[in-house]
Amino acid sequence: MSIAEEFNIEELEESDNVDLTDEQLEDGSKGQLIKRAGQLRDRRNELNQMASERASKRDDLNAKTREKVDKAQEHREERDSLNEQVQEHKEKRNELNAKANKLFDKVESMKEDLELNDGKSIEELKEEIQALEFRQQTEVLSAEDERELIEKIEDKREELAEKKDKVEDGGELEELVEEAEEVRSEASKHHQKVTELADKAQEHHNQMIEAYREADDVRDRADEMHELFVQAQEAADRHHEDFVRVQKRLRELDKQEEKERKDERAEKREEEKAEAEEIYQKFKEGETLDTEDLMKLQKTGLL
């Protein structure tokens, strides 16, 4: 749909325009020129009205374009603000993850130092000792087998005691593990924030792009409306210029007519004066003058 159809704008018909040729201007009679001036004036006024309406619609579209651009700018600023927050949370997340990694590395190092990862667990050692003691109590063994069993039980008990001592000494390790997990949890919160803010930033970015696209569409329509305004305004200006030319020509004709009337009056006065002088000369020569002759002498001041 064209911009004219969209706003139901009347087409500028060339056939409605009024032309003025040099021949019409120079050779046209005063009556013809007065009529042509009226036609030019009326068409000029129509075109000026059309231009005004189109300018108003163009200005409305330009205002709408500015609104769209302002809205896009708001989304841009919001997006940029959110991206700054994303960057802040990223830096904090990375900082906390680095700290957590160091803590977990320290945990692994302490485990290696305490050898807690080596050998059997405390529960396994307890179960083995119980099984050996039960065997000692329930089985009939030779002196040699019983001695070996007792030594084995003692070895297990020593291993268990040593493991318990290491665990007790590892209280610091538990605190370290807890701290590392807390730091990692805090890093996860910042990561979640990064995700949420990044999604919002992308949303504002998409809305910004859409607002700019809409602004471009409205601006294109405003430009089309401006072209229609220029078309009407230029036609109105041309009619005004022709109207002014006719008015100027009419003033020239008025001056010309006035000059001709003055010339006629002067010529008539000269004729009357010459006739009066001739009558006056007859009067001086003693001729009798009638009433009309006397009036002519009085009119010219000779009597």
Structural domains of the chain, with CATH: 3-7+21-257 (1.10.287), 263-300 (no CATH)
- Separation between Cα atoms, residue 171 and residue 114, nearest integer Å: 11
CB 107 within 8 A of CB 177: yes
Long-range contacts of 249-258 (CB under 8 A, 24+ apart): 249/25, 249/26, 249/33, 250/30, 250/33, 250/34, 250/37, 253/30, 253/33
How much is the pLDDT for 98? 96
Find how far residue 137's CA is from the centre of its chain: 93
Amino acid 268: pLDDT: 84
Alpha helix stretches (DSSP H) within 115-170: 122-138, 143-169
| C-alpha to C-alpha distance for 303 and 297, rounded to whole angstroms | 5
**pLDDT for position 45:** 97
Are 140 and 153 in contact, with CB atoms under 8 Å apart? no
Would you state the pLDDT for residue 21? 93
Residue 152 · residue 132 · CB < 8 Å: yes
Residue-level pLDDT at 265: 87
How far is residue 49's CA from residue 248's CA, in Å, rounded to a whole number? 25
* CA dist 284 → 163, 277, 288, 292, 301 (Å): 172, 10, 10, 17, 15
CB contact at 8 A, 252 and 270? no
Eight-class DSSP state of 16: G
Amino acid at 131: A
Q: Which helix (H) or strand (E) holds 261?
A: helix 171-284
pLDDT at 273: 80
Query: 288 phi and psi, to 5 degrees?
Result: -85, 135
pLDDT along the chain (303 residues), means of 10: 79 89 92 95 96 96 97 97 97 96 86 61 79 82 81 83 66 80 95 96 98 96 96 96 96 91 85 77 74 75 65
In the chain, count H helices and then E strands.
7, 0
